Amino acid sequence: MNSTETKNELSRREMLITGGKIAAGAAIASMAVLSAVKKSEAYENSGAAVFKYVKLDPQEVGRITYENYFKRWCTSSVIAGFAENLKKKGAAGWNDFPIDAYRWAHGGFAGWGALCGTLPGAGVVIGLVTKDTDVAEAMTNDLAFYYSYTDLPSFTPAKVLKAPIKHMTMSGTPICHISVGKWMRAEGVGFLTNERQERCARVAANVAIEAAGMLNEYHDTGSYKPKHKPLFNVIANGITSQNNCSDCHGQNPPSPRETYESLEK
Of residues 166 through 195, those in contact with a second copy by CB under 8 A are: 173-177, 180-181, 184, 188-193
Rounded to whole angstroms, the Cα distance separating 83 from 208 reads 11
Q: Does 3 bind a second copy (CB under 8 A)?
A: no
Rounded to a whole number of angstroms, the minimum distance from the CB of residue 79 to a second copy is 11
Q: Which is nearer to a second copy, 123 or 156 (CB)?
A: 123
Looking only at residues 191 through 220 of this chain, which bind a second copy when binding is defined by CB under 8 A?
A: 191-193, 197
Q: Which is nearer to a second copy, 52 or 59 (CB)?
A: 52
Answer whether the bond into residue 58 is a cis peptide, omega within 30°.
no
The binder of a second copy chosen from 113, 157, 172, 213 (CB under 8 A): 113
Q: Which is nearer to a second copy, 56 or 115 (CB)?
A: 115
The binder of a second copy chosen from 36, 92, 161, 163 (CB under 8 A): 36
Rounded to a whole number of angstroms, the minimum distance from the CB of residue 193 to a second copy is 6
Q: Which is nearer to a second copy, 156 or 225 (CB)?
A: 225
Q: Does 7 bind a second copy (CB under 8 A)?
A: no
134 Cβ contact list (under 8 Å, min separation 6): 42, 230
Q: Does 22 bind a second copy (CB under 8 A)?
A: no
Q: Is the dihedral of CA 208, 211, 215, 221 positive or negative?
A: positive
| Burial label, 253 (beta-carbon count in 10 A; 0-12, 13-18, 19+) | middle
Rounded to whole angstroms, the Cα distance separating 99 from 79 reads 6
Rounded to whole angstroms, the Cα distance separating 171 from 167 reads 13
Beta-carbon count within 10 A of 241 CB? 14
Q: Are 78 and 208 in contact (CB under 8 A)?
A: yes
Rama region for 231: left / alpha / beta (φ>0; ψ in -120 to 50; rest): left
Q: Does 164 bind a second copy (CB under 8 A)?
A: no
The binder of a second copy chosen from 6, 14, 52, 111 (CB under 8 A): 111
Rounded to whole angstroms, the Cα distance separating 186 from 172 reads 15
Q: Does 41 bind a second copy (CB under 8 A)?
A: yes
The binder of a second copy chosen from 136, 201, 207, 211 (CB under 8 A): 136
Q: Is the dihedral of CA 57, 58, 59, 62 positive or negative?
A: positive
Q: Does 260 bind a second copy (CB under 8 A)?
A: yes
Helices (H) and strands (E) in the chain, counts: 10, 0
The binder of a second copy chosen from 110, 160, 161, 163 (CB under 8 A): 110
Q: Does 153 bind a second copy (CB under 8 A)?
A: no
Rounded to whole angstroms, the Cα distance separating 72 from 247 reads 31
Q: Does 85 bind a second copy (CB under 8 A)?
A: no
The binder of a second copy chosen from 62, 107, 121, 153 (CB under 8 A): 107
Near a second copy by CB under 8 A, which window of 11-19, 53-61, 91-99, 209-217? Answer: 91-99
Looking only at residues 58 through 77 of this chain, which bind a second copy when binding is defined by CB under 8 A?
A: 70-73
Q: Are 186 and 153 in contact (CB under 8 A)?
A: no
